Amino acid sequence: MSKIKVLDELTIQKIAAGEIIERPASVVKELVENSLDAGASNIVVEIMNGGKDYIRVTDDGEGFLEEDLDLAFKRHSTSKIENADDLLKIISFGFRGEALSSISSVAKVEVLTKTDNSLTGIQAFVEEGKIKSKKPVGCPKGTTMIVRDLFYNVPVRRNFLKSKSNESAHIEDILYRLTLGNFNIAIKYIKDNKIVFYTPKNNDLISTIYSLLGKDFSNNLIEVNYKSNNFNIYGYISNNTFYRGNRKHQYFYVNKRHVRNEIITNIIENKYKSLIPINKFPVFILFIDIEPTFIDVNIHPTKQEVKFLNQEQINSALDKMLSNALNKNLYIQKVYFEREEDKSSYNELPLLFEKNYSEKEGKDKYSNDIYVNNSIETKQYIRDCSIREENLSAKNEKLNDESIEKRPKNFLENFRIIGALFSTYILLEDNINQKLLILDQHAAHERIMYEKYKKEFESEEIVIQNLLTSEIIELSTWEVEFVNKNINLLKKLGFIVEEFGQNSIILRGVPILFGVPQAKIFFLEILDELKANLKSGYDIKLDKIMKIACSKAIKSGDRISNMEIESLIKQLKMTDNPYTCPHGRPTIIEISKNEIEKQFKRIM
């Protein structure tokens, strides 16, 4: 008797749904993307119990005709494409026709929908992928999808869902990404009868960033823009004083779709390598608008990955755009002291929008109109945004201008040396700007050394010192083979090496900056790092140069004279980035006179 059997349609649907609907957040993502594809300008998302019991998505989009509704929950039914050729020009979020079928096969679905030209709407109930009943009903234009009892008929899957707070966090993450990517749409999110956020519908990205991520976030961003014939890149990146401990706040969109692209992420993070501390990550909200024929989004079930046909062209444009923006927007790290009165309002933001909300039998009422809060604080924020937009536009010149001014203006132009603290920190008084400046002598000298050696390396002008007594270094057979394969790179780094017997090499020359006594130690350290899984030659260069600069710089605890301090500051002023060491730590911080006087209660 044959062991192979053809599965029934319901089982096939449940298995297929697993690729699309993993948890409540997947439902929210698919339904909101359907609303966006339907041309909605206002979307409301409501969940209960982490979305496990109740999810509602309401929009004012085009709605369903009755004949379309009959087909909408069948597998591979879609209005987005007609044949395989259309995959080459996808501009919609959905296109496979699996979302509604997958959702309705593992949950109970209620639909309320009406088109602009219909006299009445339609209410339908769907279970296990089939419409059980439908009837005419009065409702506004658009569609409401209500999803109840997710995985009620797949108990194993429901048991694997996490806690209410965990599932809610996944939903919020999805909604943040969708909302930032579609800042021209008003989106309201309600969790357990409480409004979590409500974004403006003013087609202004910085306002949306402010309302979702806060004032600190929006105030530390740099606007970027690049235009070419085939694509546009635009959005915001963080400055050198603002970063995070993970990649959670890295948002990248292609044609408004949030996607992942490791190449793009690596390019951006490499630009910050010597600007922010090690193991910290830059923040960015970046968009690429590109002709659909230049990308492939059909490479993953969740459509979260994308491939570019012109990846090299995009890489080059992104590199230039980031260099231009970051070189012009470097800042001294400012120090603020937290006060008792700050703690009660910590992380609180002025409400940008009035809530048109009332509770009645556990439900709420919505309006598609947006009411701007008339508070003084909100009006001031709106004015600040307008001024900031003008300033940012004025700052960012077109990338076609080849002259990029790298050295910051007015850096340490007026100062008086007060002295040294703990033989580590140089205290400077900026009397004109009423600030106390604290310079880390080790970090500052690291920056000077780093840029010196980086320029020598890139121009292939590293001075090599021939050793009077060559060093014989024993290695494994594999390591000797590795050295032989990378002999040219090692020479560019300043090392003259030759194979010497079966399991050893001979070191005949080293960069003069190393100093002879440490030559063998540094060579072995660099060899170990070359063997690590560094992803590109650019990574290798920076990594080695940072290590060299760190090893040769003035150390914490070294006593230096005022003349040496003046020389250090003079050299630091000549660097391209005097604000951070090669590892991204600040070289200098500032405390305003005003901030100090607050601590002494001279002012409140």
Residues 570-594: tens digit of each pLDDT: 999 999 889 998 888 899 999 999 8
Distance CA 109, CA 143 (A): 13
Strands, sheet with 496-499, edge to edge from the N-terminal-most edge strand: 464-474, 504-511, 496-499
Domain limits for position 487: 413-604
Per-residue model confidence as pLDDT tens digits over 164-182: 989 998 999 999 999 999 9
200 neighbors 179 (Cβ within 8 angstroms): no
256 within domain boundaries: yes
Residues 226 and 178 in one domain: no
Contact 373, 352 (CB under 8 A): yes
Last residue of a domain, one of 182, 202, 232: 182
Q: Is residue 355 part of a domain?
A: no
- Examine the pLDDT at 217 and tell me if it is beyond 50: yes
Least Cα distance to 178 among 196, 199, 154 occurs for 199
| 553 pLDDT higher than 50 | yes
364 lies in some domain: no
User: Given this model, what pLDDT does residue 515 score?
Assistant: 57
Give DSSP secondary structure letters for 436-476: EEEEEHHHHHHHHHHHHHHHHHHTT-PPEEEEEEEEEEE--
Question: Is residue 17 domain-shared with residue 84, that is, in the same domain?
Answer: yes
- CATH of residue 243's domain is 3.30.230.10
Contacts of 455 (CB under 8 A, 6+ apart): none
| 15 and 116 housed in the same domain | yes
Nearest to 176 by CA among 213, 229, 202: 213
Tell me, yes or no, whether 398 lies in a domain: no
Q: How many domains does the chain have?
A: 3
pLDDT digits (tens, 9 = 90+) for 331-377: 787 777 765 554 444 344 333 333 343 333 343 333 333 333 333 33
Q: Which residue matches tokens 């310079």?
A: 439
Question: Is the same domain home to 425 and 551?
Answer: yes
Let me know whether 425 and 282 are in one domain. no
Residue 426 and residue 284 share a domain: no
- Tens-digit pLDDT profile for residues 468-516: 888 888 887 778 888 888 888 888 878 899 988 778 899 998 877 655 5
Alpha-carbon radius of gyration of the chain: 30
**441 vs 301, which has greater pLDDT?**
441
Whether residues 475 and 588 fall in one domain? yes
Residue 536 lies in a domain: yes
User: Residue 523 is part of a domain; what is its CATH number?
Assistant: 3.30.1540.20
Do 307 and 431 belong together in one domain? no
Q: Please name the residues in contact with 40: beta carbons below 8 A apart, sequence gap of 6 or more.
A: 59, 60, 61, 142, 185
In this structure, is residue 602 part of a structural domain? yes
Query: Of 334, 367, 385, which closes a domain?
Result: 334
pLDDT higher than threshold 50 for residue 255: yes
Clarify whether residues 320 and 419 are in a common domain.
Answer: no
Q: Does residue 203 fall inside a structural domain?
A: no
Domain boundary among 182, 197, 232: 182
Residue 408 lies in a domain: no
Please state, in angstroms and rounded to a whole number, the distance separating the CA atoms of residues 83 and 85. Answer: 5
pTM of the model: 0.67
Shared domain for 165 and 258, answered yes or no, is no
In whole numbers, what is the pLDDT of the chain averaged over residues? 79
62/92 Cα distance (integer angstroms): 15
Residue 24 belongs to a domain with what CATH number? 3.30.565.10
User: What percentage of the chain exceeds 70 in pLDDT?
Assistant: 75
User: For the segment 537-547, what is each residue's pLDDT rounded down to a tens digit?
Assistant: 555 666 666 76
Residues 473 and 418 in one domain: yes
Both 319 and 451 in one domain: the answer is no
Query: Rounded CA gap, 66 and 419, in Å?
Result: 81
